[in-house]
Amino acid sequence: MNELLDLFLTFAKMGVMTFGGGMAMLPILQREVVENKHWATEEELVDYYAIGQCTPGIIAVNTATFIGQKKRGAIGGIVATLGVVFPSLVIISILAGLITNYSHLAWVQNAFAGIQVCVCVLIFNAVVKLLKKSVVDKPTAAIFALVLAGGVFLDVSPVWFVIAAALAGIVLKNLEVKGK
């Protein structure tokens, strides 16, 4: 029961601190799940995040579900999901009333503009950390460059990029092993 409560409270804390959606949650997930709790490795977190991005639903919720399921099975997945969603439900319910009444005020609009900039920096920092862990050799650098170019120049679902990158990883790593 204590592990389930820990799952709920950890993900509730992340839910409270995550402004800007699932991508903004990445640095908090990394700190809490990988560094503090040791519930997943950096590589596992990247995998969960990639799969969470490809599956229907919200990335943060999907990732919480994967981590909770790894830790305590189906009930852990449910508890982690409820933990990450609960603060948002409370906060959104409160803010919905306030924003509709005060959204026309300049200071409210400016506050949201500042929050958006901060979220961009948090996402950038998380991406740089993930890049250092993920792009470790020439094959992974090639996959990175191709997916980056595709993401910039093509209007394609991220699912296709993940599938293509997975296939490229299999092919390139198998060629690397055969070459040794």
pLDDT averaged over the chain?
A: 87
Domain extents in the chain = 2-133, 135-180
- Residue 74, pLDDT > 90, answer yes
- In tens, the pLDDT along 165-178 reads 999 989 988 887 78
Name the residue among 147, 146, 133, 143 with its Cα closest to residue 172.
Answer: 143
- Record the pTM: 0.59
Mean pLDDT of 40-54: 84
78-83, Cβ contacts within 8 angstroms, sequence gap of 24 or more: 79/4, 79/7, 79/8, 80/7, 80/8, 80/10, 80/11, 81/11, 82/8, 83/7, 83/8, 83/9, 83/10, 83/11, 83/12, 83/14, 83/15
CA–CA distance from 168 to each of 55, 113, 154, 163 (Å)?
Answer: 20, 39, 18, 9
